[in-house]
Amino acid sequence: MKMIDKFDVKYWNECITQIDNASSVSLFPHIHADGDALGSVFALAVALRKKDKAVKVFLCDSPEEALGFLVPGSQWGIDVIVLDATDSDDLSLYTENPSDLAIGIDCAGPDRMDNCYAVYKMSPNKIKIDHHVENPGCAFGDSNFVYDGWAATGEAVWLLLNAMGIEIDYEIAIRLYTALLTDTGRFVYSNVTPLTFYIASQLISVTGSDITWISRQVYDVKPKRMIKLLSAVYSKIEYFENGRIAYVYVPDKMFKDAGALLEDTNALSSIMRDIEDVEVSIFVRDGKHGALAEDDKTLPALKASMRSCDKCNVAAVASAFGGGGHVRAAGLSFAGEEPVLKEKLLAEVRKQLNG
């Protein structure tokens, strides 16, 4: 398959040179890492171990249950570190002994690494590999390999590994396939390109029928606690603009009452978007990691996740609040009360829908 110049081996030369010159490499996905972030990070980690690199993967939080299979076993010799932001000794241990090279994966900005950014920035050489639209000040690597035409960061990692001449074996293939599968919504989102299907076909030639197991593991198996939570959430959905906007706020109490986890709402925005006549879905929750207003620490932090069909650019909506993402899938943090965010969000979405 002929690819445009940006995907040629020469495009990756600087990245490959930095990897070749490093004896130790640390990898950093974004906070609450999804299938693309985890799949890309651990595929690259496995590949780098094949080149006898000392590899560390820094996570801001533990992987969700459905994606646990992406974490390589101990036999690979990959150090997986869930960094506790409250433990200053833990943080100092890694900031004082940085790897030769740090690679940020699927992170639109430094804030997406949360507390792990303190470790990332201490490495003498830094690379960013991503597919999110660049915001000013977000080119935080010494070298930045970013292209928003990639459907997933997993596509970039596949291209890099091919440029490096590394064999895409089963362990790498299942992780990259998961990256593509999840960031394209099972290959149905508008970000899918011919390159996406080409890479997927190459990966399937390695994984075989195990792609069926991957899809079921990620999308179909649902814990009972999730069903309990969603049954309560559905009754709270509100509709605006004659049903074109679906909105729901899920406070922490609803999670606690159902015994549910944050990951149990991962698909909620997409489910709401699939409701008849809905063009934009908005899911708001209390955010444990949201940024509080500097002048009022008592304000609760909120997180909003949005999905859209073809008539609303939710990335533009999110950017108005300092957030970001994709045209059809975006998110943001908000320091304030939920009714205030609700009013502001609905106003921005209406501008997009009716503009």
pLDDT in tens, 188-203: 988 999 999 999 999 9
Residues 212, 249 share a domain: no
Lowest-pLDDT range of 35-44, 150-159, 299-308, 309-318 = 299-308
Distance between CA 176 and CA 199 in Å, rounded? 9
Residue 44 and residue 58 share a domain: yes
Q: Which two tokens stand for residue 316?
A: 């533009």
Average pLDDT over residues 329-343: 93
Residue 26's beta-bridge partner residues?
A: 56, 102
SS3 325: strand
- C-alpha closest to that of 263 among 275, 253, 273, 255: 255
The answer on 168 and 130 residing in a single domain is yes
**What spatial distance separates the first Cα and last Cα of the chain, rounded to whole Å?**
40
Q: Which among 218, 253, 275 is the end of a domain?
A: 218
**In a shared domain, residues 43 and 129:** yes
> Considering its fold, how many domains does the chain have in total?
2
Question: End of a domain among 175, 191, 218?
Answer: 218
**Same domain, residue pair 36 and 168:** yes
pLDDT at 21: 98
pTM above 0.75, yes or no: yes
Q: Give the count of alpha carbons within 13 A of 68, CB side only.
A: 5
Res. 3 pLDDT band, cuts 50 70 90: very low
Task: Let me know whether 78 and 162 are in one domain.
Answer: yes
Residue 314 has pLDDT above 70, yes or no: yes
Domain around 258: 224-354
Buried-exposed string 191-214: b where 16+ CB fall within 10 A, e elsewhere: bbeebbeebbebbeebbeeebeeb
Asked if 31 and 112 touch (Cβ cutoff 8 Å), the reply is yes
Task: Give the 3-state secondary structure of residue 226.
Answer: helix
Quick one: pLDDT at residue 280? 97
243 in the same domain as 138: no
Which of the 8 DSSP states describes residue 293?
P
Quick one: which of 56, 109, 102 has its CA closest to 331? 109
Domain endpoint, select from 164, 198, 218: 218
Distance, C-alpha 76 to centroid of its chain: 24
